[in-house]
Amino acid sequence: MSTAKTGFFLSVLCVLCVLCGGELTSSAQTSKKDPIAASKDVEVTSSFDRSAMWVADRITYTVQLTCHRGVDIVTDDLARDKVRLDGLELVGVDSSREDRGEGVTTYRYAYHLTSYKVDQPTQKFGDLRVRYYVKRPGQRVEDAAPAGEVTVPGASLAVRSTLPDEAQTAVFRDARPAQQRPGLFAALQPIGIGLVVVSIVPAVLWVALLITRARTSTTHRSARQVRHEERSTLEDLKAVDLGTEGGRREAYDRVNSLVRMHLREACGVPVDGLTAAEVGPAVSARSGRLPADLVASVLSACEQARYGANGVGSAQACRETIEQAEQVLAVH
């Protein structure tokens, strides 16, 4: 009887051991991390924007991580202080986050780099290990336990030209001697030179004509022509009605132009652009026959009538100015 009971208890104990062992094994299997599942949670791509660089060039290393539904990454693992560089220097980091819908999120990090080392032909961007976690409602990022990690693969960059090192040098010049021109072209060369010379001659004549016309236009008129124009202007002044303000203003304008033309063309005194106060010394320096005080007085009266605040003055003062202008015109 005791032997039967002992066998029964041993059987029960074996069954329990089997059951307990099976449960422990299954729990251990479920707690073990599946690397395939981890790679499906976060996808990683990375690349340089060029295959080679020169010293002091700016390059960009772009990292993209795509998190599937219910998973997110620890962005601090992608900060600039976590970057490991060999020869390169970090200039700046740009980051962005894009929600693609259905729980899929994409992170992009652009690391802007440069290099000032000339003695290191190959420079590297080291690997980055980024942790990720399972998102749960109401749970903060700080309280979430990492569910795994992914590795952002590093990359190497050559400091050289982007052309292949073994590329053959292109031959841009031919070693063969230049071919002789056909006889027809050699015979036509003197004819072409002659046509060029013939075409230059009309251009030279045209330039000479323009110069001659310019000199003719600046030639002074004869003394006879000047005296004839002065007499005509004086006759016109006598016909002006000095009883009106407009008539006196017109008379002063004509007197001013007439006296200045006489000084310039008949006496050779350049007075264009000079005021009445400046004309007197100019006349004294260039001609001793002209009454400098009288010339200055006539031009001062014209300036006062044309630009002064007191108006054009009386008709008698205008007649006196015309008589003084006649005295100036009488001197040649």
* 135/73 Cα distance (integer angstroms): 10
154 is written with which tokens? Answer: 């590093």
Residue 215 has a pLDDT of 64
Q: Give the distance, in angstroms, between the CA of residue 88 and the centroid of all CA atoms in the same chain.
A: 31
Residues with Cβ within 8 Å of residue 188, at least 6 apart in sequence: none
- Region for residue 313 given its phi and psi (left: phi exceeds 0; alpha: psi -120 to 50; beta: otherwise): left
* 255/276 Cα distance (integer angstroms): 13
Secondary structure element (H or E) that encloses residue 291, with its range: none
Q: Where are the domains of the chain?
A: 37-159, 223-329
Residue 91 has a pLDDT of 93
∠ CA 73-86-50 to the nearest 5 degrees? 75
Residue 36 has a pLDDT of 36
CATH no. of 37-159: 2.60.40
3 is written with which tokens? Answer: 């032997």
> Tens of pLDDT along the chain (332 residues)?
444 555 555 554 544 444 444 333 333 332 333 333 345 789 999 999 988 888 888 999 999 999 998 888 988 999 999 999 998 999 999 999 999 888 899 999 999 999 888 788 889 999 999 999 888 776 676 667 778 889 999 999 888 765 565 555 555 566 677 777 777 877 888 888 888 888 898 888 888 888 877 765 555 566 677 777 778 877 887 778 888 888 888 888 888 888 888 787 767 777 777 887 887 788 777 666 778 788 888 888 888 887 777 777 888 888 888 888 888 777 76
Closest alpha carbon to 151 in 130, 134, 132: 130
Residue 128 has a pLDDT of 92
Q: For 65-87, b where at least 16 C-beta lie within 10 A, e where not — what string?
A: bbbeeebbbeeebbeeeebebeb
Model pTM score: 0.39
